[in-house]
Structures are given as structure tokens and as C-alpha cells.
Amino acid sequence: MRHRITVLGAGYAGASAAGYLARHLHPDDFEITVVNAEPDFVERIRLHQLAAGQDLPRHGLAEMFAGTGIRLRLARVTAVDAERRTVTVTDDGGTDRIEYDTLLYTLGSTVGDHGVPGVHEHAFHVAGRPAALRLRRRLDELGEDGTVLVVGGNLTAIEAATEIAESRPGLRVTLATSDELGGWLSPKSRRHLLRAFDRFGIAVHQHTTIERVEETGAVAADGTAFASGATVWAAGFAVHPVAAASGLDVEDDGRVIVDRMMRSVSHPEVYAAGDSAYIIGENGRPLPMSCASAGFTRMQATAAIIGDLTGHRISKTSLAYLGNCISLGGKDAIFQLVGGDARSKSWSLRGRPAAHAKAAVLRGSVWAVRYPTYGLPTRRHRLTTARYRMAEAVAH
């Protein structure tokens, strides 16, 4: 019987991890199954563009995995039983259970309401393709004369607000953030950011915490009411509750606690990567939920899986950020370099050159999923008894 590897989720971490494993493990010894709810790989970091009205290219997973031997199962993951090593999935045909020997958990994240009433009932978001299309339909209904409130002050909120304002100039866009907008940026970058918001006519309310979302707007903690035809919630992410109910050790926020090799600290046959994993970066802080984290953790997880199952040396992937690349509409952006302490350095790239850099990042992220071995020769490693050393490695 072949060793069964199941990958849950086909986002930036899961899709590229599955392809990398398929190109490095011998098909006579390994069976790789990817479970994903949608038939396409979704460019999540471009969903604000989709919501604003742009059409994005489709990337079919079946076509991307063609010739690799990967089995694609289109279904929604509803449960994981870490003790019995099973995954429960649901599709149009009903409920099924998939048994695994090794599990790679990469279900990612979704919008986080942080307990704010009305978010799930009345707000829109761009943390998934269906949600982005729902927002797009709402913006179409508003036409050329409507109001949009974006809640949040980090990358997703900034990119959503500027993209909507640029693509639909008739709309009045407001952003409310509980902190200082772009406060983590270098002084030059922050000035550039604020000038962009002024150019787009986006009203900014800093140090404003939204405590309730209603059908026609939102209310801040100080009582300020914001009228809105579409409230876009971009105030953070949350992981799916599957891991917390699985028997795996998880953080308070539901992320799977892993060691430096991305193995679950409680179940070493389970690995996690991307937004689902709780791992400390090189700066001593937990890696944030982001596309960049998906890349770092995917590379480490696949190296560990291959090493644990075949006996090959496990290389260590650096878990350090170089910077943040923030779109400000289609023709403007900021690339902010950060140091080892995750603080912004004085150097940054701004304007059209930064927009070209961001476009390269977007192209590169899709290329990395399509070509997870980066064009290097594939190696078909065989299964060895090294798989039994996983528990020993965690125990020591």
C-alpha cells in the first residue's frame, strides 16, 4: 500500500506544496490527494481587484496538477480526526471520509469579525472569491452615486479602499481604522500613502473603533455613525474552526502549533503551513497571516515531509520578511523594506516603480504555484523507514 499524503486546501501554501511533493516523491510509494472546495486556484491577494470590477484569469487546479499524479477532490473539509487520521469532507454527493498517513493542513483563513455584532449579517469582505463577487454585485447596485465604508487599516483595507476608489470614482469611499493609517511605514512611505488617499478623495477616520455594523452603515465606539451602502470588513482574519476541533494542539486563535519543521507539536504526522500554522519567525514573533508566510512555511513543510519520509537531510528555510508591497490602485504602490525586527527601514520604493514591483510579485506567486520546483530537475525519492523518526524528532 502506498503512503497516503493528504493536503487540505489549495491556496498559496497548499497548491504549491502538493505540486512540489508530487515532483519529489516516487509515485510507486506515495499517493497524494488535494482536497479543495473550489476547482480553481484563487489569487487571494488580488481579490480586491475582482471586487472593484476587474476580471481575473482563472487557474484550474485540474490543469495545474495535470501530469503530476495528484488526485484532486473537490469538497469542503468539515472535520479532521487527528487520532484516527481521517478527514471528513462534504460535496454535492454527500459526506465521505478520507484516511491519511501524512496530513498537510493548509486551509488558510477567512474574515475575522473579532466579536463585532453585525459583521457576518451586514458586512462584505474580500477574503474569498465568492465574497469578493458578492461585494462586486453590491457595488454595481450602488452605481455611480453611493457610499462605501472600509473598516481596517492594514494591507487588505488599504488596497481595497484605493482599488474601489480608483475603479469606481463616483462612489464616496471612507476608511475607518482603530489605529493610525500606515503608522508602521517609514515617514516617506506614509506621506506617499496619505497623498494617495487624498488623490482618490478617500475620507480617513483614524483611532476609530467600529463596534457595530448595521444594514445601512456602522457605529463607532464613540457613537459616530457612518452611513454606508456597502461596509467592507477588512479588520483582520480568522482561521477555520476545523483544527481546534480536531484534537491537534492549537493556539487561542485556532492556528495549529508547529515546531520549526512545521510539524504539529501534538501529532507529528500532521504538518501545517500558511495562515493555518502558528510558528515563530526569525524576529521572535509569530508569523502573520499573509501570502509571504504561505511561501516560507510551505517550503519548510515540504522539506520536512520529504526528509521525514525518505531519510534525506531537511534543509531549513528562513522565516524572515524582506518587506511589504502595498497596491494603491493599479498604477501606484509602496514597497517598504523591513528589518530583522519587522520594523520599517528608511528605504522604500514608491509610485509607478513600486507598482511594477507589485505586479511582478503577483505574477511570481502564480508562477510558483504552477512551477513549484522552480524549473529545477525533479527527483523521485523512495519511501524509507525514516518516517518513523518523526515522533522521535518531536520528542527530542
Higher pLDDT, 53 or 292: 53
Q: Are residues 219 and 309 in the same domain?
A: no
Determine the pLDDT at residue 388. Answer: 45
Query: pLDDT tens, 231-256?
Result: 999 998 999 999 999 999 999 999 99
| Residue 365 within any structural domain of the chain | no
As given in the structure block, the three cell numbers for residue 136 are 462586486
Q: Are residues 86 and 180 in the same domain?
A: no
Alpha helices (H) along the chain: 12-24, 47-52, 61-64, 119-122, 129-142, 155-167, 187-200, 291-310, 352-370, 389-395
Determine the pLDDT at residue 144. Answer: 82
Indicate the average pLDDT of the chain.
Answer: 93
pLDDT confidence bin for 377, thresholds 50/70/90: low
Cell 520536512, residue located: 304
Determine the pLDDT at residue 385. Answer: 60
Higher pLDDT, 283 or 270: 270
* Among candidate residues 233, 251, 275, the one where a domain is terminated: 233
* Among candidate residues 175, 204, 233, the one where a domain is terminated: 233
Domain range for 227? 111-233
For the cut 70, the answer to whether the pLDDT of residue 54 exceeds it is yes
Q: Are residues 214 and 142 in the same domain?
A: yes
How many structural domains comprise the chain? 2
Q: How far apart are CA 35 and CA 89, in angstroms?
A: 8
> What is the average pLDDT across 365-384?
83
As given in the structure block, the three cell numbers for residue 325 are 508591497
Q: How far is CA 257 from CA 177, 248, 249, 277, 287, in A?
A: 30, 8, 6, 6, 12
| Residue 342 within any structural domain of the chain | no
Q: How far is CA 134 from CA 10, 111, 122, 205, 213, in A?
A: 22, 14, 12, 25, 17
Q: Are 170 and 145 in contact (CB under 8 A)?
A: yes
Q: How far apart are CA 221 and CA 89, in angstroms?
A: 41
For the cut 60, the answer to whether the pLDDT of residue 350 exceeds it is yes
CATH, residue 311: 3.50.50.60
Q: Are residues 177 and 71 in the same domain?
A: no
Interior angle at CA 131, CA 148 and CA 77, nearest 5: 155
Considering only CA atoms, which of 226, 234, 214 is closest in space to residue 326?
Answer: 234
Concatenating the DSSP letter of every residue in 47-73 gives HHHHHHTPPPPP-BHHHHTTTTTPEEE
pTM of the model: 0.93
